[in-house]
Amino acid sequence: MTGGIITVLGKTGYNFGAGMTGGFAYVLDLDNSFVDKYNHELVDIHRIATEQMEAHKNHLRSTIIEFTRETRSAWGQEILDNFDDLIGKFWLVKPYATGINDLLNSIRKRPE
């Protein structure tokens, strides 16, 4: 991935983030297995449940709200209904070279 944002609400494969040079991802890790699956050489992961990550937490919630509204996903609605309990299970995945504070700023500048 060279840019953009993805939100993964299911399991990932191994080597997640290989080739990731830009953008970022939110990954729901229900079984705590993601730390063994991401590419440790290219990407960095951070829990979203901390106070410093409040902007990302709000962005993630709005992303899931939009997804659920557009798809009528029962799984998306379940996540929203239990968001405060599940937020500790989400990771933010970003390339090593990108600062956390720069992530949301870069999407705010895009004309989409």
| pLDDT tens per residue across span 55-72 | 999 999 999 999 999 999
The CA distance from 22 to 19, in Å, is 9
The CA distance from 33 to 95, in Å, is 20
Query: Could you tell me which residues come within 8 angstroms of residue 17 by beta carbon, excluding any fewer than 6 positions away?
Result: 1, 25, 38, 39, 42, 43, 93, 95
The predicted pLDDT at position 109 comes to 52
Contacts 24+ apart (CB under 8 A), 79-84: 79/9, 79/28
Domain ranges of the chain: 5-103
Provide mean pLDDT across the span 41-53: 91
Provide mean pLDDT across the span 4-24: 92
The predicted pLDDT at position 110 comes to 46
The CA distance from 55 to 85, in Å, is 18
| pLDDT tens per residue across span 80-108 | 999 999 999 999 999 988 877 777 765 55
The predicted pLDDT at position 2 comes to 65
User: Under CATH, which architecture does the 5-103 domain have?
Assistant: 3 Solenoid (2.160)
Q: DSSP secondary structure string, 85-111?
A: HHGGGEEEEEETTS-HHHHHHHHHHS-
The predicted pLDDT at position 96 comes to 87
pTM: predicted TM-score of the whole model, two decimal places: 0.88
The predicted pLDDT at position 48 comes to 92
Residue 111 has pLDDT above 60, yes or no: no
The CA distance from 30 to 9, in Å, is 9
